[in-house]
Amino acid sequence: MKQFNRHLFLFLFLFSSFLLKAQFDNEKYDKESFLIGTLNEYMNYQRTFTNGDSFYYQRVDIMGQDELKNALFIDSLFSSDYPDITIVNNGASLGIKIYSPTLSSKIDNYYNYKPSIMMTMQHDTIYGGSVKKEMFKTEKQKLSFLLGVYLRYGRNKDMTNSRIQFFKKDNYLSKDKKLENVSVGLSMANAPSKAQACVEILKDLGCIDVEYVVLKGVPVGHHVIFIPSDKIQKVIDNAECLGKCIETIDTNHVIFTPNGTKFIWVEPAKPPFQKKGTDGSDSVVVKIKSNTDN
């Protein structure tokens, strides 16, 4: 009976992941191009190529604590094709990290890497990757890239209007241009190659009044404002729908051990067996994934 309940809870969690993954239209969008659009490129896409460092080596992405739902979605989307994918959380503000030797190798094809002046504590050189726009050859790949970018870096109309007014006030944009209420905005920090790729692809796909504003400061803000074509508006609508689905993920029962092992805590009304939870209540613990699992 105990084993049955463990399997039942695991099945329910995996089934909910399947439903979420089903919200991503594989016929319409390319998963890899979508992923590249979502990736954190703060100070470029950072990578080390020697095993001496565990922070940058074979890392897929890094996220803030408020992005755990996004990390779980990426895990669900790629875990069947890349079973070595792992989520780690060390509790820092940007402490959620996704690792996968095989998926990170695929990602490397999308970037031109150059050595930076930064090094790890182990004296490994940290390389900065600039996204290769030429990797997005087909319209499907371009739309998929923009889907990922908008999902993570898109701004709603109110925020976009506010930025447009600020940019006009400080003469970054022409005061004569009628951009308010019809434009969409993307904002990312210290990510010039991603912003520039967006500008080129948006123009390729029929968007008009595509504006690229760079705000100097710490960090440097890269802002893309554009009036979407019908085709891109559909991508935006799909991204917003996907974002709402991701928001339904319940992370209250997901915890991480210090070594990065992921657990989900399930608390039924009448648990088949008891284990004291962190708050002293009776809980059932179901192991989902471990770095040491075969």
Burial classification of residue 40, based on how many CB atoms lie within 10 Å of its CB (0-12 exposed, 13-18 middle, 19 or more buried): buried
Tell me: the pLDDT tens digits for 169-224?
999 999 888 888 889 999 999 999 999 999 999 999 999 999 999 999 899 999 99
pLDDT > 70? residue 264: no
For the chain, the domains span: 138-238
pLDDT > 90? residue 228: yes
Q: Are strands 111-119 and 125-131 parallel, antiparallel or unpaired?
A: antiparallel
Give CA–CA dist 69/151, Å, rounded. 12
First to last CA, the chain: 25
Closest CA to 205 of 187, 174, 176, 184: 184
Total-model pTM: 0.83
Cis peptide upstream of residue 268 (ω within 30 degrees of 0): no
Give CA–CA dist 288/76, Å, rounded. 12
Higher pLDDT, 19 or 221: 221
- CA–chain centroid gap for 270, Å, is 37
In one-letter notation, the amino acid at residue 123 is H
CATH code of the domain made up of 138-238: 3.10.28.10
Give CA–CA dist 217/54, Å, rounded. 30
Tell me: the pLDDT tens digits for 39-92?
999 999 999 998 766 789 999 999 999 999 999 999 999 999 999 998 988 888
